């Protein structure tokens, strides 16, 4: 199989205007991935599937990732007046890197017997711009897995043929796989209550039960 860097070069040549970058992986697997912009991602996915030397015809795994806002310190040099004289000083500025959500696809070629190639797409933020492009038209096996990400992370996949909840029930509030999700103690609408759920409900409503 070609390297991720080689595939990136070929993608840029095959899909003019595609935004694509190599994302390194610092863990022990050291498996980099390709992050692609949303504008041309369907054309890029089609190229990965149909190119004779790549033939990534199977999306084996599609997962969601929640990246929270990150606060970091940045050191800057500024010129200020000290005792009437201008001097250069170093200051520390606190900045916030906005969080986002990602969908990550692990691709294999069943025909050529290679993979995985890991590709990813990310939302603009975690609040009001949580939309991505469904890759189900390219890899039909992504249909249920994108629905799961929609259900548990709140990512809306544009172009998905049947985007509705798959694990949680309709009317369930919030997204349980978000890192800042707060589990409620009121399980009034839990469809299959069990001992722990019933105990939480009892504590929520008081020892006398629901009033």
Token couple for 166: 């798959």
For the domain spanning 4-65+101-177, the CATH number is 3.30.460.80
φ and ψ of 54, to 5 deg:
-110, -65
Q: Are 165 and 174 in contact (CB under 8 A)?
A: no
Whether pLDDT at 180 is above 50: yes
How many CA atoms does the CB half-sphere of 97 hold within 13 Å?
A: 8
Q: Confirm whether pTM is higher than 0.85.
A: no
Give ranges for CATH 3.30.460.80 in the chain.
4-65+101-177
Average per-residue pLDDT for the chain = 90
Q: Are 133 and 62 in contact (CB under 8 A)?
A: no
CA 120 to centroid of chain Cα atoms: 7
Token couple for 80: 């200020």
Q: Give the Cα separation of 123 and 130 in Å (integer).
A: 5
For tokens 């990136």, the residue is 8
Quick: pLDDT tens for 83-130: 778 888 787 888 888 999 999 999 999 999 999 999 999 999 999 999
Give the pLDDT score at 187.
Answer: 58
Whether pLDDT at 39 is above 60: yes
- Between the alpha carbon of residue 102 and those of residues 62, 125, 135, 154, the distances in Å are 10, 10, 13, 11
**Which of 25-39, 127-141, 159-173, 186-200 shows the lowest mean pLDDT across its residues?**
186-200
């Amino acid at each position: 199989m070609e390297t991720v860097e080689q595939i990136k070069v070929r993608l840029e040549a095959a899909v003019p205007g595609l935004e694509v970058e190599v994302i390194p992986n610092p863990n022990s697997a050291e498996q980099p991935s390709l992050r692609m912009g949303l504008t041309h991602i369907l054309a890029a996915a089609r190229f990965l599937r149909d190119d004779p030397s790549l033939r990534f015809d199977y999306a084996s795994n599609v997962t969601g990732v929640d990246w929270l806002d990150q606060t970091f310190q940045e050191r800057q040099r500024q010129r200020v007046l000290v005792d009437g004289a201008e001097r250069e000083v170093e200051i520390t500025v606190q900045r916030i890197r906005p969080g986002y959500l990602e969908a990550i696809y692990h691709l294999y070629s069943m025909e050529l017997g290679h993979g995985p190639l890991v590709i990813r797409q990310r939302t603009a933020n975690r609040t009001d711009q949580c939309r991505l492009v469904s890759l189900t038209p390219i890899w039909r096996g992504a249909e249920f897995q994108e629905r799961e990400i929609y259900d548990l992370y709140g990512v809306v996949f544009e172009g998905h043929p049947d985007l509705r909840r798959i694990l949680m029930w309709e009317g369930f509030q919030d997204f349980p796989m978000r890192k800042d999700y707060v589990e409620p103690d009121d399980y009034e609408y839990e469809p299959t209550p069990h001992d722990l759920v019933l105990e939480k409900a009892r504590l929520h409503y008081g020892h006398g039960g629901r009033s």
